[in-house]
Copies of this chain bind each other. A is one copy, B any other.
Amino acid sequence: MPLQKVDPETADREMFALFCSYGYDGTSLEMLANATGLKKASLYHRFPEGKKEMALHVLKGTRQWIKTHIRDVLTHEEQPVKKRLTLALQALDQLYNGGSSNCILRTLSIGTDAPYFRDAIASCFELLHTGFAAIAAANGFSGTRALQQAKEVSVAIQGSLVLSNVMNDTTYFKKCLEDIPLLLKK
């Protein structure tokens, strides 16, 4: 069998970037083809169900990334709490490109096929919540209060990303990252 012209990881990265910037309906197959270096028909060879499958694939990749770089890091009990949090915040900074990228969980939550992505998106947030709740719990919060604080972290992240984007000012996101430890401390 012939070699793959474009390695999947590169294609995934490009597709991820497009769906982040332009959303689901705003990203056309022509854009996906140009960005990945694959022709439209080749994209259909890799993703027989079409654009929906491409977006869902990217979403599941993001879920995996969140699991290993954030959830698992935050719940890794062998590591000191402070260290875990620092690593997770670095991961967030990387995921969102310092606040200048949109969140794919948000951009794919709106549009024609949004229902198709609902569960995958919700599952990503649940990963984040169990992760941050572990830190809050380690800091002395009760189980339900810890989860509450974890959800506030999600709210802060999403909100700051929205404002960083529309106001073209990453200060919102940077300040959010600084404030997250306070939200998880008693």
Identify the A interface with B (CB < 8 A).
21-26, 102, 105-107, 109-112, 114, 118, 121-122, 125, 151, 154-160, 162-163, 165-168, 172, 176
A129 to chain B, nearest CB (A): 10
- The residue that A110 contacts in the complex, of B22, B154, B158, with Cβ under 8 A, is B22
Bound-state CA distance A165–B161 (Å) is: 16
- The residue that A166 contacts in the complex, of B106, B163, B166, B172, with Cβ under 8 A, is B106
| CB–CB B112/A22 < 8 A | yes
| CB–CB B109/A165 < 8 A | yes
13 new A-B contacts, CB < 8 A, other than A125-B163, A154-B163, A155-B163, are: A22-B111, A23-B25, A26-B110, A26-B111, A26-B112, A106-B106, A107-B110, A118-B168, A121-B166, A151-B163, A154-B159, A155-B156, A158-B158
Q: Which residue of B lies closest to A171 (CB)?
A: B151
Majority SS at the chain A contact face: helix
| CB–CB A125/B159 < 8 A | no
> Assuming the A-B contacts A23-B110, A156-B159, are A151 and B172 also in contact, with contact meaning beta carbons closer than 8 angstroms in the complex?
yes
Bound-state CA distance A155–B102 (Å) is: 14
Q: 13 A-B pairs, CB-CB below 8 angstroms?
A: A22-B110, A22-B111, A23-B23, A23-B25, A26-B110, A107-B110, A109-B166, A110-B110, A154-B159, A155-B163, A158-B158, A159-B160, A162-B162
